[in-house]
Structure 1
Amino acid sequence: MSLTKQECEDFWSKADKNGDGQLTIQELDKALRSILPPGKGPSSKDVVYMFSAVDKDGDKSVTKKEFFDEMEKPPRRETLEETFKKYDKDNSGSLKRDEIEAVVRDSGAFKGGNVKEITDDIMKEADTSGDGAVDLQEFLKIVS
């Protein structure tokens, strides 16, 4: 998520109802639901994920600094597109199995896991066209 400084200020003032300079997960959930149309808000699981991503020190609250630091990051899609391009070694516009394996290995998210099996699972799920490679749209679907 990437917001302007003013949008961040506006959201923060709506979310931090008690004015203590911190957001609880409940405050974040309520604020998100208040600004989005009914049925368009995030699931409870999504709210937990968002909150955890912003709560860098794990103290179960998000400070204004943590919030603004997260909002000032480049948009996630832009970052994912850069990652895709980095691993698309032959500039083919798609990631082949060995390139996906490199993403898995380098991410460090699967420590202790079998990289080849994880890569197989990703290829099965992401390669919806069945061409043996993952294009940018397929990549964005699987990692978003």
Structure 2
Amino acid sequence: MALTKQQCDEFWRLADTDRNGSLTIQEVRNACRKYDRNLKDKDIASMFCTIDGDDNGRISQTEFTNEMLNKTRRATSLQQCWQKYDVDRNGTLSRGEVMKIIEENFPEKSKNRIIGEFLEFCDLDGNGIITRKEFDDFFCA
């Protein structure tokens, strides 16, 4: 979930039901479910733990807003990366396109290992082609 500053403020007003300036996992769960009833508890818990930077069991408004705005920036960076390397514009990354990403961003001695690991962990269906969903899921998980 990536939000604008205005959306962050709206979510916060909805979620901080006791108006104490921080969110519990229950408050986050209740607010998230108002947006998407199908969200799983494990996904909400994972999101909560990611945002709770000081690991105190509560999310401050600063922690929440910073994480949501960073996700927006990461999503923009991923979009730019995708557009740069999906050179044939077919909506997938071939092994050659993946190799280009690795060649331009990693040291020579690590390339073969990194290509193998990237394909192993990103290409979930094992077809040697990375879909946009696989790409986003890998980098946004």
Place the TM-score, normalised by the shorter chain, in its bin.
Answer: 0.5 to 0.7
Amino acid across the alignment from 1:31: A
Structure 2 counterpart of 1:47: 44
**Structure 2 CA distance, aligned partners of 1:46 and 1:120?**
24
Q: Residues 122 and 135 of structure 2 are in contact (CA less than 8 Å); yes or no, is this contact kept in structure 1? A: no
Q: Residues 123 and 134 of structure 1 are in contact (CA less than 8 Å); yes or no, is this contact kept in structure 2? A: yes
Percent identical across equivalent pairs? 27
Structure 2 counterpart of 1:26: 26
Q: Secondary structure at the match of 2:130?
A: strand
Structure 1 counterpart of 2:35: 36
Q: How many residues align?
A: 128
Q: Does 1:96 align with 2:98?
A: no
Structure having the higher helix fraction is 2
1:125-144 equivalences under 5 Å are: 125-126=124-125, 130=127, 132-140=128-136, 142-143=138-139
Q: Which runs of no fewer than 5 residues in structure 2 stay unpaired?
A: 107-112
Structure 2 counterpart of 1:63: 60
Q: Which runs of no fewer than 5 residues in structure 1 stay unpaired?
A: 107-113
1:113-128 equivalences under 5 Å are: 118-119=117-118, 121-122=120-121, 125-126=124-125
**Structure 1 CA distance, aligned partners of 2:36 and 2:132?**
29
TM value normalised by structure 2: 0.65
TM value normalised by structure 1: 0.64
**Structure 2 CA distance, aligned partners of 1:5 and 1:123?**
31
Q: Secondary structure at the match of 1:56?
A: coil
Structure 2 counterpart of 1:81: 79
Per-residue deviation, residues 87-143 of structure 1 (Å, max 9, x unmatched):
x3x94552527639949x96xxxxxxx75763452365255xx4x443545423554
